[in-house]
């Protein structure tokens, strides 16, 4: 039996200190290629804590057009992405906010434009697999069984290192 290669990454032990104060104004914008190293740091910081799945630099460069970032004084302090799964379904992925900016509505501000993007694409349903169900329930998502997302299972879950012990909660929302 052959197995899919596991993506190798070297997560940072701690996020680098921000040059901007946590009271700085935050703007949400489309991600740029130059944001990838910071996305890598933030996402893999939380992956190292077991709070989300890791991403390689390669994965981030290939999916950069899917990402929105929260920018505070020229520094990326958060991210979220929309990944089209099928004609009527898209996934909200990689929602992460620097610890200094949590609790300030940054995560919500990152996810809300993804609803608009899904509508513009003609995609009526968003879903997520998360360890933060309270956050997503506040945005209108509700818990559902994972097996209702066969396209997700065939695209991503079959190669995920957590496949046989997945602890993520599936949630869905109509847009």
Comparing 33 with 54, the larger pLDDT belongs to 33
Percent residues over pLDDT 70 in the chain = 84
Distance (Å, whole) CA 120 – CA 13: 39
Residue among 15, 140, 143 at smallest CA distance from 79: 15
- pLDDT digit string (tens) for 73-118? 999 999 999 999 989 999 999 999 999 999 999 999 999 999 999 9
- Matching residue, tokens 């999916």: 63
Count Cα atoms within 13 angstroms, Cβ side, for 18: 19
Q: Is residue 165 predicted with pLDDT exceeding 50?
A: yes
> In which order are the strands placed within the sheet that holds 26-30?
26-30, 67-72, 75-86, 89-97, 125-130, 169-174, 142-143
Averaged confidence pLDDT in the chain: 88
Quick one: DSSP state of residue 105?
Answer: T
Rounded Cα distance between 87 and 136, Å, is: 22
35 near 61, Cβ under 8 Å?
no
Are the beta carbons of 71 and 90 closer than 8 angstroms? Answer: no
pLDDT per position as a tens digit, 120-130: 999 999 999 99
**Residue-range domains of the chain with CATH:** 26-174 (3.40.630.30)
Are 94 and 52 spatial neighbours (Cβ–Cβ below 8 Å)? Answer: yes
Whether 110 contacts 118, CB under 8 Å:
no
pLDDT at 1 over 50: no
């Amino acid at each position: 039996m052959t197995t899919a290669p596991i993506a190798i990454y070297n997560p940072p032990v701690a996020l680098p200190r921000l040059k901007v104060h946590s009271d700085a104004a935050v703007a949400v914008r489309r991600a740029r290629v130059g944001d990838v190293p910071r996305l890598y740091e933030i996402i893999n910081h939380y992956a190292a804590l077991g709070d989300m799945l890791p991403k390689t630099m390669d994965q981030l460069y290939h999916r950069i057009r899917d990402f929105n970032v929260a920018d505070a004084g020229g520094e990326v302090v958060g991210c979220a992405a929309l990944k089209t799964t099928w004609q009527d379904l898209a996934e909200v992925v990689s929602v992460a906010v620097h610890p200094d900016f949590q609790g300030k509505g940054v995560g919500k501000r990152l996810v809300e434009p993804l609803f608009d993007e899904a509508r513009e694409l003609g995609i009526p349903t968003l879903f997520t697999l998360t360890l933060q169900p309270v956050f997503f329930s506040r945005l209108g998502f509700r818990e559902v069984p994972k097996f209702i997302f066969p396209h997700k299972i065939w695209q991503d879950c079959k190669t995920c290192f957590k496949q046989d012990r997945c602890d993520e909660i599936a949630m869905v929302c109509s847009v």
